């Protein structure tokens, strides 16, 4: 069979792309060397939280994507979606001024109010946003690809011949790269992905948690299976030499620091709420794919060298219309979802689908063109 699309990478980015294209009547295959949701997506919280603060282009994108994804997951898989809101407690990054964001709408809850809800709350106060949830990442990803063919395969090269891509024995007219932090199958010199490692734990506790709580870490409300997610630590690695090719557990450079990291998460959780009869049932680690601007990237992949050869004046700042640039044939990507893959996934997949099937332009902030022009100007000699 010749597929319309092969998607490489079965994390939340790839699975959402598979879903929208399959719904649009396309024949879709999705391949992953590890399995479904085994990379960052399997390690995720996966909290869906608003980003408060004075309105800017990044938090506007996050909050738009949040509303889209909340609605989407509730309809797609209600049994894996727990939507009870989030209490945000001020910290260094999000002080009171940032949290009092009228545009998002919040309810201030003082310590007494919280103690009335549950006497397990510590002496904390915070801002409650009702539009927040937590989902089960693995259930979501598996549900999204129902109706598509999944193959476990480590793709080593993109071979394009006679108008078709050959991926092992599979053939397709179009490819979407959703590889997360892994080395891209293609050199895209204007997209510099760095891994931000993190750890998330699932615990059982007799304490009932009424809604998600977020300070420097996040604690979920009791999910539908009764467990509570607590995540996630961050360790930035903005080092060009460091690449990520596998999952943390298989990585030869991974230093197992679980005991210390879990203890730190639990200590931070304990400052917010008293968790009785605590039992850690699962520890997950992963690397989020991030670029410095924190915006995700979506769209058709520009061939950097050929475009520059065709229009050398781009390096001097001349803006050539995007449709005149040289693109790899039928090759797309969705990546750099950072710490918000489950928030961005459904929204970005729908943007890409509209772009491919209906030629709707990709918003500038998340387009590859933005990075292409910026890199070209930087490389001016
Ligand atoms: C600890 C932690 C906590 C997080 N918490 C949250 C949260 O609360 N909320 C939220 O929204 N986000 C959260 N995130 C971020 C979120 O998990 C990521 O943004 C998201 O999972 C990225 O999805 P992805 O599909 O781009 O990448 P991935 O999930 O990493 O998927 C990429 C896949 O591509 C496959 N692949 C790569 N190269 C090849 C190849 N050549 N051949 C075959 N397969 C290949 C990999 O095996 C991998 O499975 C968290 C992340 C971590 C690590």
State the pLDDT at residue 93. 79
Q: d(Cα 264, Cα 273) in Å, to the nearest integer?
A: 14
pLDDT, position 242: 60
DSSP 159-202: EEETTEEEETTEEEEEEEE--TTBPPSS--TT---EEEEEEEEE
pLDDT in the model for residue 236: 58
Whole-angstrom distance, CA of residue 227 vs CA of residue 209: 10
Nearest CA to ligand 1 atom 51: 44
Confidence category of residue 235, pLDDT binned at 50, 70, 90: low
For residue range 160-219, what is the model confidence (pLDDT) as tens digits?
999 999 999 999 999 999 999 998 899 999 999 988 888 999 999 999 999 999 998 999
In degrees, rounded to 5, the angle at the alpha carbon of residue 327 between the alpha carbons of residues 325 and 331 is 155
pLDDT digits (tens, 9 = 90+) for 31-54: 999 999 999 999 999 999 999 988
pLDDT at residue 266 is higher than 90? yes
State residue 237's pLDDT score. Answer: 54
Q: Does residue 296 have its Cβ closer than 6 Å to ligand 1?
A: no
- Phi and psi (nearest 5°) for 145? -100, 10
Please tell me the predicted confidence (pLDDT) of residue 220: 98
Do the Cβ atoms of 141 and 92 come closer than 8 Å?
Answer: no
CB-based contact 26:5 (threshold 8 Å): yes
Q: What is the mean pLDDT of residues 144-155?
A: 97
pLDDT value, residue 103? 76
| pLDDT computed for residue 115 by the predictor | 96
In the chain, domain spans: 2-39+139-192+293-378
Looking at residue 150, what DSSP letter applies?
E
* Ligand 1 contact, 200 CB (< 6 A): yes
The phi, psi pair for 251, rounded to 5°, reads -80, 130
| pLDDT (tens digit per residue) in 104-119 | 889 999 999 999 999 9
**Which residue's CA is the closest to the ligand 1 atom numbered 33?**
9
pLDDT band for 76, please (50, 70, 90 cuts): very high
**Contact between 70 and 82 (Cβ < 8 Å):** no
CA distances from 135 to 42, 59, 103, 219 (A): 11, 21, 25, 13
Percent over 90 (pLDDT), the chain: 82
Helix axes 137-144, 12-23, angle to 10 degrees: 30
Task: Report which DSSP code applies to 286.
Answer: E
Q: Measured between alpha carbons, how far is 114 from 88 in angstroms, rounded to an integer?
A: 12
- Give the single-character DSSP code of 89: P
d(CA 96, CA 100): 6
Measured at the CA of 348, the angle between CA 94 and CA 18, to 5 degrees, comes to: 135
Q: Which CATH class is domain 2-39+139-192+293-378?
A: alpha beta
* Entry pTM: 0.95
CA atoms of 337 and 345, how far apart (whole Å):
8
Q: Note the pLDDT of residue 92.
A: 82
Q: What is the pLDDT of residue 243?
A: 65
**With pLDDT > 70 as the criterion, what percentage of the chain qualifies?**
96
Distance from the alpha carbon of residue 45 to the mean position of ligand 1, in angstroms: 11
Name the nearest CA neighbour of 330 among 3, 35, 24: 3
Q: Which helix (DSSP H) or strand (DSSP E) does residue 2 occupy?
A: strand 2-8
Query: Separation of 178 CA from ligand 1 center, angstroms?
Result: 9
Contact 336 CB / ligand 1 (< 6 Å) = no
Integer CA distances (angstroms), 348 to 12, 17, 178, 296, in order: 11, 8, 12, 9
Cα 72 to chain center, whole Å?
15
Distance of alpha carbon 101 from alpha carbon 105, whole angstroms: 7
The DSSP element (H or E) to which 288 belongs, if any, is: strand 279-290
Report whether residue 289 contacts ligand 1, using a CB cutoff of 6 Å: yes
Mean pLDDT of the residues in the chain: 93
> Minimal CA–CA distance to 187: which of 321, 303, 312?
303
For residue 191 the two structure tokens come to: 């997209």
CB 163 within 8 A of CB 2: no
238 or 358, greater pLDDT: 358
Confirm or reject: Cβ of 19 under 6 Å from ligand 1: no
Report yes or no: 214 and 224 within 8 Å, Cβ to Cβ: no
pLDDT of residue 97: 80
Q: Is the pLDDT of residue 73 over 90?
A: yes
Q: Which residues contact 326 (CB under 8 A, 6 or more apart)?
A: 302, 303, 306, 307, 310
* Mean pLDDT to the nearest integer, 343-352: 98
| Residue 239 clears pLDDT 90, i.e. is over it | no
346 close to ligand 1 (CB < 6 Angstrom): no
179 CB less than 6 Å from ligand 1? yes
User: Per-residue pLDDT averaged across 4-18, rounded?
Assistant: 98
Q: Quick one: pLDDT at residue 102?
A: 67
């Amino acid at each position: 069979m010749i597929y319309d699309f092969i998607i490489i990478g079965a994390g939340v980015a790839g699975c959402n792309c598979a879903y929208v294209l399959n719904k649009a009547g396309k024949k879709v295959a999705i391949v992953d060397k590890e399995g479904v949701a085994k990379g960052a997506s399997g390690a995720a919280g996966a909290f869906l939280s608003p980003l408060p603060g004075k309105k800017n282009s990044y938090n506007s994108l996050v909050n738009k994507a949040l509303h889209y994804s909340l609605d989407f997951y509730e309809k797609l898989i209600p049994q894996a979606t727990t939507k009870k809101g989030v209490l945000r407690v001020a910290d260094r990054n999000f002080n009171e001024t940032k949290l009092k964001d009228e545009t998002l709408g919040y309810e201030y809850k003082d310590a007494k109010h919280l103690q009335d809800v549950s006497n397990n709350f510590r002496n904390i106060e915070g801002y409650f946003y009702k539009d927040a949830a937590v989902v089960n990442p693995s259930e979501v990803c598996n549900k999204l690809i129902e109706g598509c063919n999944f193959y476990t395969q480590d793709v080593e090269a993109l071979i394009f011949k006679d108008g078709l891509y050959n991926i092992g024995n599979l053939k397709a007219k179009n490819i979407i790269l959703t590889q997360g932090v892994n080395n891209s199958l293609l050199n895209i010199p204007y997209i510099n992905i760095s891994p931000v490692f993190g750890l998330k734990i699932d615990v059982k506790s007799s304490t009932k948690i009424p809604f998600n709580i977020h300070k420097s870490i996040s604690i979920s409300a009791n999910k539908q299976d009764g467990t509570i997610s607590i995540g996630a630590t961050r360790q930035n690695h903005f080092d060009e030499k460091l690449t990520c090719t596998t999952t943390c557990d298989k990585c030869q450079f991974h230093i197992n620091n679980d005991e210390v990291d879990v203890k730190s998460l639990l200590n931070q959780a304990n400052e917010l709420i008293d968790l009785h009869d605590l039992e850690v049932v699962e520890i997950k680690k992963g690397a989020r794919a991030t670029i410095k601007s924190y915006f995700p990237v979506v769209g058709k992949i520009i061939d950097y060298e050929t475009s520059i050869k065709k229009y050398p004046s781009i390096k001097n700042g001349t803006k050539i219309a995007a449709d005149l640039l040289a693109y790899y044939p039928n090759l797309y990507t969705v990546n750099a979802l950072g710490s918000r893959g489950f928030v961005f996934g459904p929204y970005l997949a729908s943007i890409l689908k509209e772009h491919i099937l209906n030629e709707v332009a990709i918003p500038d902030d998340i387009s590859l063109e933005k990075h292409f022009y910026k890199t070209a100007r930087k490389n001016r000699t």
